[in-house]
Structure formats: C-alpha cells, structure tokens
Amino acid sequence: MDSTSLAFLKTLLDAPGPSAYEALPARAWRAEAATLTDHVHVDITGNCFATLNPGGAPKVLLAGHIDEIGVMVTHIDDDGFLSFDTIGGWDHQVFVGQRVELLARGGRLPGLIGKKAIHLIAKDDRDKVTKAEDLWIDIGASSRAEAEALVEIGDAGVLASRVLEFPKGRLVSRALDNRVGSFVVLEALRRLTAEPPRAQVVAAVTSREEISYTGGGARPGATGLAPTVAVVVDVTHATDIPGSDKKKHGDAKLGGGPVLTRGAAINPVVFELLRESARAEGIPFRIEASSRDTYTDADSIFNATTGVATGLVSVPLRYMHSPNEMVALEDLDATARLLAAFARRIDATTSFLPH
C-alpha cells in the first residue's frame, strides 16, 4: 500500500461517523473519489457513489458501509452529566473508563465515561456486569445550563481513539468495521482507472448498516442504482486468537487474504467468479459458510429491486466492535486487487442466472 492510500485510510478511520451521523467520513471519501472520477454523488440516505466508465455494461456495484458503532446523548441531568444509549452492538464492559468524542453543534466535544470508583461500589456489586444505564458521560459541566450550552439530546459520538500502526503491517482503530470496506471499494476503483473495465463500475459507501436489519442505506441505494451485480465488502472475525472455535466461527486469520462467503444472499455465479479471480491473481483466500442471513449489506442488496446478483468478500478483523480493532494491511490490498480483477472479468454477455 502506497503512502497516499495509507494517509487516506487513516483520515477515514479517524473521522467520527456513527450510524446515521456519517457525514464527516463520507465527505472525506467523496473528496478522495473526486480525484479518480468526475462522477461522484450522494443520495438522500447518505450513501455515496463514484462511477467509472458510466457508458459500460453491465452495472457493477462495489459496496462497503461507512458507519461505525457509537453512542447517543439521551438525557442531561441537573448537574450536567449526560446519560447515553448505544448506537449499534456494544459489549458494555468496553465503555468503562473510556474517553468519548461527541459530534456537537459547536464541533467535536471531548468527554469521558464515568463510573463509581471501585472503592465506592459495594463488595457484592463489584462482580456485576456493567451496563450503559449504569454509566454517564462527563463533559466537565457543573449544571444542566452549562451542559446544554455545549450539547443537546440526540447528539451522537464515538469512543475517542486514533489510528495506531503496529509491526508487520497491522493497523489498529475503533472504526475498521467497516471503514475498511469503504476504503477497499475505492482502492479497487483506483486500480481500475489504470486498466478500465468493459463494465460500468460504481464504488459505493452505504449508511446505517450497524443499526438496521431492514437494510439501512444499502437497500434504497441499490434500488436507486439498480445494478446487475454487486459485491459487498465487510469484515469477518479473525479466529487466529486464543480461545477461538474455528469449527463454529470459521478459519480466518490476519494476513490470510480475503474471505469469500457461500450460502444465503450469495449468487453462486458471483462466488465462482470471485474464486476464479483470486486464483488467477494468486490471491490467498478463505471460504466462509452462511446458511442463513449474512448480517451484512449483502442481505439487503441481494433482495433489492427484482434481485441483484450479490457476492460478499470480508476482511479478517480481530476484536470486532471494540475501541481497538485490528487488520492486516496486506489483506486490504489483496481485497482491492480481487475486486478489480473480478470487475475486469465481467462484460455485457456475462450471465448471473443460477445454473
């Protein structure tokens, strides 16, 4: 990965953008997309699109959601402390002792998540599981009026952390799920600009995936775009950590390449083309089984309009939905290469009808 792409990735990861509040990372994504194509737009749900070869056929959609999990202010008490609810699926134990960054009307507002000190907790209560309703956000205000001058009900935020680079090309961030998907689809487009495909290729980032099992932004985005074929890029659990059950959760590891899903919401022709593309390019990959829903945007896109031939490619990720998720940069590069190779294999004669 070159320095330009890495700098763009870091910008994406550090921009706070919880579900339904994705404007900051989406703005950064569109700015980068505009350096690759003149055909960039955003729709009413916050999805962003960048199109290459608009006259080509068929229409290929490469999609990754750009939102992340976060928190939302639900109440301000008389002493200026903020109650909050979760945006997306959290392990509530993660919140204790964390700093937050709220997207307030005056800009990014720092705060911290408070809990009683261990000394003040009754002995019988110390082993109880902490929940969000037991915690609060402290922004340094001493009254409701002081707090309301800075923040209001419905303001969203994220845990405050920045990208870290670890040895052996490991990258750590709170927002890898799924900024890496939004990054990869644009990197695939970048590769395709050097060798344009016969198909029309649309790189897209979708909104609200983390909070909506009915489709988030992906369903209206795919409906408006009406692609013939789509590949969704998301993350999957890396099981190369202590205690993982590979028989239950699959065998994926950092540096092992992308993971191709077979099963529900997956068009078999798309899967085979992805597998053939990986083999032709010498890209290592794993296969993941999905007997029911994939719990990704693939489920929504597969059923959009009259149906879209859909595939799912996932990047192995450690410590999902935590402030310190981890990926291998080589997996991001391999996934972008795979998507570009897949798009070049497709032309107007390609049939996606199941055999």
Residues forming the active site: 209
* 8 Å CB contact between 158 and 312: no
Q: Contact, 69 vs 210, CB < 8 A?
A: yes
**Residues in contact with 172: Cβ distance below 8 Å, sequence separation at least 6, in sequence order:** 163, 164, 165, 166, 324, 325, 326
At 337, which amino acid appears? Answer: R
Strands of the 325-328 sheet, one edge to the other: 164-166, 170-173, 325-328
Complete DSSP assignment for 32-95: HHTTT-SEEEE-TTS-EEEEESTT-SSEEEEEEE--B-EEEEEEE-TTS-EEEEEES---GGGG
Beta-bridge partner residues of 292: none
CA–CA distance, 284 with 289 (Å, rounded to integer) = 17
Give, in order, the Cα–Cα distances in Å from 111 to each of 56, 94, 102, 203, 302: 49, 16, 7, 35, 40
> Can you tell me the distance from the alpha carbon of 153 to that of 151, in angstroms, rounded to the nearest whole number?
7
CA distance 170 to 311: 26
Task: Tell me how far the alpha carbon of residue 233 is from its chain's centroid.
Answer: 8
Q: Are strands 229-237 and 309-317 parallel, antiparallel or unpaired?
A: parallel
316 phi and psi angles, rounded to 5 deg: -60, 135
Name the residue type at position 139: I
Token duo for residue 313: 């490619």
